Amino acid sequence: MVQENQTQPITNGTFTFNSDAAHVDDGDSGKYDFGGGKKLDIKVNTKGDLTVAKSHSTISDDGSVEWTVEVSSKAGTKPGENIAITDVPSLGTIDSSSITVNGGTCSHTMTAGNQGFTMSCPALEENGKYTIVYTSKVDVADGEVTSQNNSVTVKAKDKNDNELEKKAYDSVSWDKKPTITKSDGALQEDGSVQWTVTVDATKLGDLNGWTLKDIVTGGALEGNITVSPAVNGQTEFSQFPITFGGNNASQVYTFTYTTKASDGVMPTESTNKADLTPPNGKDSISTGDKGVNPGPYNPLAKTAGTVTLSKDEKTTVVPWTVTIAPKYSAEALPAGWKYTDRLSDNQYLDSSQRSALETAIKASFQKAGLNEPEVTFQENNGKTVGFTVQSSSPLNVGQTIEFSYNATGTITQTWNGEQQYSNSGSIGKFTVNPSITFSPSNLSWNLSKIDAKTGSASDSTHEYNDSSSMEQVDGKPVMHWQVEVNQVEHIADVNSYVDLTITEQLPSGVSLSSMSFNMGGEVNLSVPSSDGTAVTTIAGWWNLGDKSFQVTVTRSGNVLTIVVPAGLLSTVAVYGGGNNASWYKAKLLLDVRATIDDASVLGKTATVFKNTAKLNDSTGKDWGEKSQSQKITKDDEWDIVKKSSSYDQNGQDSGKQNLVPYSIVVNPNAMDLDKNSDTLTLNDEFTYDYKESNPVEFNLNEVKVYRYDSASGTKGEELDSSDYTATPTSSASGDKRVNGLTITVPDSTALLIEYSYKVVGQQNATVQVSNNVTMKGKTSGVSGQSVKVTESHGDAQITKMSFYKADSKDPSNRLEGAFFDLYKWDGTDWVHLCKGLRTGSKGAITFSAAKDSGNKECEENPNEVCGISSATIRLNEAYKLVETQAPEGYITPSGDDAIHYFMLRDKTAESTFPLTKPDDFPTDAIHIGGFEGYVLNDKETAKLPSTGGMG
């Protein structure tokens, strides 16, 4: 280490280390070189060890104790040098014959009177040990505590001739002293005091000759003394002292007696002590002076009022009320009684408060018919912090002294701003210690104005003619606003509430229909029909209990001013907080309904009606202003299209499983909605999510159109399919699939369109769907339906799907005789599989796929696996169907219009049939078993013959 650090900077300090030395004899020394010219002479000196312990067994009642002394050494003591042991108890004698030694042969000599012994034992070898046992006996005295202290001293030399000396100590005691206890006196209603003294003599042979005395200060014994069990054969004595005779057993005695205070002494000021004196003239045993416990009796009461901020808000005003009113003789105060009042450190009396207090005290004494008291004040650091009232007149039962005063409270910084003020009052042992917490008011209010129909504070739009859009009162549409007043934070001080004023500004062009509070019960407020004021009594709400309050409404034109009293707010808060002061929080809900004066001014363009509310309190604080506008339209065409659904996934009729039915009421009033056309066009969109984890698809099932009776709400005659068109479409974007349906129907006719979609997928699979229809800018829909697959399609091994060739205007008109070629994607290109697939009598071509690996695929030989109207394909592979010839009378499509892509998807079969498709394969071409799609054709347009020649 020196070599490593010799070139480093000098370090100041101390190094401490230990080293071990071996094979060094006692007294040897040597020079040890630490380098740098430092040599130390180190001498080795080894000292032996000696251990001494002393203990005792269980002591006997006759004063006998068995003692054990143990002397040992690990290194051993000097050979040939005896060990000296001296044992002398502080009390009693030792039985010489009881001394035994284990571990060697020792000799002992008793001291005078056998009060101790000395013993000589041979030197101890390494790990040697002597165990000495003997018995001592002391005389145990009754009525006293006898103690015996016992010590042993052992001297020896170690092998290096060093002196060794060790001591050990132990003690025992015998307690044969009685005990005496006394509880505080219990004040009785009549002013007497009951005392209980207990003498426990269970440790004593008997109490013969012991004397019990009792000393009362400020009172005297009244009545007899009772004792249990009997003393000297008696259970009652007329006075103290009481001397125990020889026939009293060793047990616990309980003495009970009553004292009465001397004239001019309050019962609570008297004291009492009991002494038990032994017969041998030794010191008595005393309970010491015991006082009187007032118990439930107290003529003194003190309460705090409501703490308020001073005008400068730097201090508080803390009101206190003192009441002194004896109800029982135990509480009566003799002449000379003194009341002492002390404020907590954070309070004081200023000069005006001090003067007012002295005046109030003297006035209360005068009112009670007592002499004027002496009032003195206590000062601390120049401030008055307390006072004393001393009366020369007694205060008897039925008389009352009561006075109130204000103190100034200081405000200190606390974590929550709360200030704790306390006060102590006392008349002797009658005391009170009231306190009160002041919480700086954090009372604040939040105002909101909402459309009661929508439940939103945002501007809203309503259709005047639509009873579901606007509330109806007496058959007339009304606008309904709500004013919410919410207390922002919980408060504990119920006295912090002040009156609130709600100013309601109605929009022009409306008339007030009603105004009401709605809190645990709606209460209509009386509103003047013209300028003026009306009063409404609020009562009966669940959170008002049996209280009632008056709310005033003042009208000035369309401005209504509502004053809510503080008492109503605080009561609502207390009940709303479950009477828990930590949760006081008030809330009010004001409902305002208004009708439109002249509905003829309304039209398709919305008319805006803006309602404004303001909130203030009686201190002048402004809590804000909120507005909400309702935009009202009056459109005679508002209900020209209305969609509904009777689907119930848990209650489908037999034969209608997996069908989702819809109905659309069109033009219920049979108006001429399009002056330029005899038809109306509806665009319907059925939207749902398609996910591989839960594959569900929907197919258009059927479309029917009926005449409609709006008066009865029933359907009539079904229209011929030539009177309307229904063209289905499909599209997809990501997981979202849309089944479109364009329907053209006659104008000026009330109609009911009924149609349905068929759901296919695994049984019990569910999916959320939405369906909206739009006509002439009006939209109606059914959103958020949960549709469930109640019957699964196909079987465990064969999966099928179909395409129907149909008239583009009427999908229910399915066409026979359309021809198609079938292609398959081989991973790089489209490969022709077969031609000549033809729609059958029901207009369908059906494709099926087996899940087993031996599945054969449609090829050029139609007789094996490729029939006229069906074909076998493979799962999870992309196909395209190309129309080559339309049915007779229909146009054969060309280009992309002739191509129809499809795939039968089964993710569970991917290990056998991997997913194979081009990157641009349309997502809505991926189908599951049971899917039915449409391939639509337009009819050929009839051509007029050419006549030639000149026109």
pLDDT one-digit tens code per residue, 502-516: 999 999 999 999 998
* CATH architecture for residues 179-293: Sandwich (2.60)
- Model confidence at 36, pLDDT cuts 50, 70, 90, reads low
Residue 43 has pLDDT above 70, yes or no: no
> Quick check: do 51-175 and 179-293 share a fold?
yes
Residue 563 has pLDDT above 80, yes or no: yes
2 secondary structure, DSSP code: H
Q: How far is CA 596 from CA 449, 506, 508, 528, 593, in A?
A: 19, 11, 9, 19, 10
- Model confidence at 945, pLDDT cuts 50, 70, 90, reads very low
CB 344 within 8 A of CB 412: no
- Model confidence at 46, pLDDT cuts 50, 70, 90, reads low
Residues 6+ apart with CB under 8 A from 677: 747
Residues 6+ apart with CB under 8 A from 402: 321, 322, 323, 324, 325, 364
- Model confidence at 871, pLDDT cuts 50, 70, 90, reads confident
| Percentage with pLDDT > 90 across the chain | 59
- Model confidence at 40, pLDDT cuts 50, 70, 90, reads low
Cis bond before residue 299 (omega within 30° of 0): no
CB 277 within 8 A of CB 213: yes
Cis bond before residue 241 (omega within 30° of 0): yes
Tell me: domain 300-438, CATH 3.30.70, correct?
no
Please report the pLDDT score of residue 282 as a whole number.
Answer: 83
Angle at 925 between CA 924 and CA 931, to 5 degrees: 95
* Domain 798-937: homologous superfamily in CATH: Immunoglobulins (2.60.40.10)
Look at strands 926-927 and 899-904 and give their pairing: parallel
Residue 950 has pLDDT above 50, yes or no: no
Residues 245-269 have pLDDT tens digits of: 887 778 899 999 999 999 889 999 9
Instruction: Please compute the mean of the pLDDT values over residues 69-81 and round it to a whole number.
Output: 95
Please report the pLDDT score of residue 858 as a whole number.
Answer: 65
Alpha carbon distance 17, 949 (integer Å): 137
What topology does CATH give the domain 51-175?
Immunoglobulin-like (2.60.40)
What are the tokens at 282? 């030794």
Please report the pLDDT score of residue 951 as a whole number.
Answer: 27
- For the chain, give every domain's residue range: 2-43, 51-175, 179-293, 300-438, 445-633, 641-674+686-762+783-788, 798-937
Residue 4 has pLDDT above 60, yes or no: no
Residues 6+ apart with CB under 8 A from 793: 760, 761, 800, 929, 930
Cα-to-chain-centroid distance, residue 110: 80
Residues 169-196 have pLDDT tens digits of: 999 998 888 899 999 999 999 999 999 9
CATH class assigned to 445-633: mainly beta
Instruction: Please compute the mean of the pLDDT values over residues 79-84 and round it to a whole number.
Output: 95
Please state which of the ranges 82-96, 193-207, 446-460, 785-799 shows the lowest mean pLDDT.
Answer: 785-799
Residues 626-643 have pLDDT tens digits of: 999 999 999 888 888 899
Decide: residue 946, CB within 10 A, 0-12 exposed, 13-18 middle, 19+ buried.
Answer: exposed
Q: What is the pTM of this model?
A: 0.46
Q: What are phi and psi for residue 282, nearest 5 degrees?
A: -75, 180
CB 732 within 8 A of CB 738: yes
